[in-house]
Chain A
Amino acid sequence: QKEVEQDPGPLSVPEGAIVSLNCTYSNSAFQYFMWYRQYSRKGPELLMYTYSSGNKEDGRFTAQVDKSSKYISLFIRDSQPSDSATYLCAMSGVKLSFGAGTTVTVRA
């Protein structure tokens, strides 16, 4: 069983829709919970991260962590075509463990 599970999609939504992404994990020792965004032919860039259970909001993006269920989510409100990318969840202890990444396309 993988340490981090993420549905690879792909996910296609119309502009303005809410995008919902999630990951599950098995390792209770993870300290930080991250979401990376990766555009085509680029390296991953850190979008948001949280340290504990709860919600964190940054503009149109909301990250949620539920440590009791070992479940994290990312929501993108009012999605834009520029949000089209691959979104990777990741968790850190001594090293990073990544999900498979979900490819999102926002249709204009």
Chain B
Amino acid sequence: DVKVTQSSRYLVKRTGEKVFLECVQDMDHENMFWYRQDPGLGLRLIYFSYDVKMKEKGDIPEGYSVSREKKERFSLILESASTNQTSMYLCASSPGWDFIIPSSNTFGSGTRLTVV
């Protein structure tokens, strides 16, 4: 069964800390995505990557960075966590086609981050 695994289900961090959220996929997918999900706002794309060491800004990249050193791993970094980054973070992956085929796009279970 294909899988996208996010390393932590729940995290509590202090304001100003550097935070790493990790995502690993075992499907050999080229594309990987980081979203945040907030009530009433749905899923918003933070960053995505279509290849190793490649990254593209999504709709809300401010305050975040990403790293993709290996094909299977995509990390989201909060350089200096703030309370407005308290949210559910979801990782996803899909094959590297021109557009996303729904049946091939897989989400992780999410990391609920609380910044205090």
Residues in chain A within 8 A of chain B (CB atoms) = 4, 6, 8, 31-32, 34, 41-46, 49, 88, 90, 92-96, 98-101
Contacts and interface: CB of A to CB of B under 8 A. Distances in A.
A32 B99 contact: yes
Interface string B92-108: 10000011111101011
B100 A43 contact: no
Given A49-B103, A94-B100, 15 more contacts: A6-B42, A34-B102, A41-B9, A41-B112, A43-B90, A43-B108, A43-B109, A49-B102, A88-B42, A95-B48, A96-B105, A98-B42, A98-B43, A100-B42, A101-B42
Contact of A88 (B43, B58, B102): B43
Contact of B45 (A4, A95, A99): A95
A46 B115 CA distance: 30
Interface centre among A44, A49, A98, A99 (most CB of B within 10 A): A44
Range for the number of chain B residues in contact with chain A: 20 to 34
Contacts of A4: 42
Contact of B103 (A43, A46, A88, A95): A46
Interface of B: 4, 9, 33, 35, 39-45, 48, 58, 90, 92, 98-103, 105, 107-110, 112
Nearest to A99: B42
Contacts of B42: 4, 6, 88, 98-101
